[in-house]
Amino acid sequence: MSDPVAQLIFLIIKAIVMPVLIILIVAFAIFFERKFAGFFAGRVGPTYLGPWGSLQSFGDIFKLISKEDLIPAKSDKPVFKLAPYIAFVPVFLVMAVIPFGPVGGEANLFGYRFDYVIASFDAGLVLFLAMGAMAVYGVVLGGWSSNSNYSLLGGLRAGAQMISYELAMGFSAAGVMLMAGSMSLIDIVDGQAGNFWDWYWIPQIVGGLVFFVASIAELNRTPFDLAEAEQELVAGHLTEYSGMRWGMFYFAEYVNLVVVSMIVSTLYLGGWRAPLEVLDFIPGPIWLFLKICFLIFVYMWVRWTIIRYRYNQLMSIGWKVLLPLSIANLLVTAVVISAVN
Partner 1 sequence: MVNPTIDLLIQFGIMFAIGAAMAVAFIAISHLLSPKSVNPSKGEPYECGVVPMADARAPFNVHYYLVAVLFVLFDLEAVFIYPWAVSLRSLGTPALVEMFIFIAILLVGYVYAWKKGVFEWE
Query: Per-residue x/- marks for partner 1, 11-50, CB under 8 A?
Result: xx--xx--x-------------------------------
Q: Which of 70, 86, 63, 73 is nearest to 242 (CA)?
A: 70
Among 56, 57, 164, 261, binds partner 1 (CB under 8 A): 164
* 259 lies in the site for partner 1, by CB under 8 A: no
Residue 312 makes contact with partner 1 by CB under 8 A: yes
Q: Of 88 and 212, which has the nearer Cβ to partner 1?
A: 88
CB of 80 to partner 1, least distance (A): 12
Question: Is 107 a residue that touches partner 1 (CB under 8 A)?
Answer: no
Q: Which stretch binds partner 1 (CB under 8 A): 24-32, 51-59, 232-240, 263-271?
A: 232-240
By CB under 8 A, residue 195 contacts partner 1: no
Site residues for partner 1, window 120-139 (CB under 8 A)?
121, 126
From the list 180-188, 195-203, 258-266, 276-284, the region that binds partner 1 by CB under 8 A is 180-188
Four-residue CA torsion sign, 188, 194, 196, 198 = negative
Quick one: 45 or 223, whose CB is closer to partner 1?
223
**Residue 167 binds to partner 1 (criterion: CB under 8 A):** yes
Q: What are the φ and ψ backbone dihedral angles of 181, each rounded to 5 degrees?
A: 70, 30
3-class secondary structure, 234: coil
| Closest C-alpha to 118, from 95, 137, 135, 139 | 95
320 lies in the site for partner 1, by CB under 8 A: yes
Q: Which of residues 68-87 bind partner 1 (CB under 8 A)?
A: 68-74, 84-85
Quote the CA–CA distance of 273 and 88 in Å, as a whole number. Answer: 29
Residue 200 CB-density burial (10 A; 0-12 exposed, 13-18 middle, 19+ buried): buried
* Contact by Cβ (8 Å): 246, 166: no
Is the peptide bond between 223 and the residue preceding it cis, with omega within 30 degrees of 0? yes
Binding residue for partner 1 (CB under 8 A) from 59, 79, 147, 302?
147
Q: How many Å apart are CA 166 and CA 4, to the nearest integer?
A: 38
**In a 3-state reduction of DSSP, which class is residue 168?**
helix
- Nearest CB to partner 1, comparing residues 290 and 328: 328
Per CB under 8 A, the list member of 141, 183, 229, 233 interacting with partner 1 is 183
Between CA 269 and CA 291 the distance in angstroms is 8
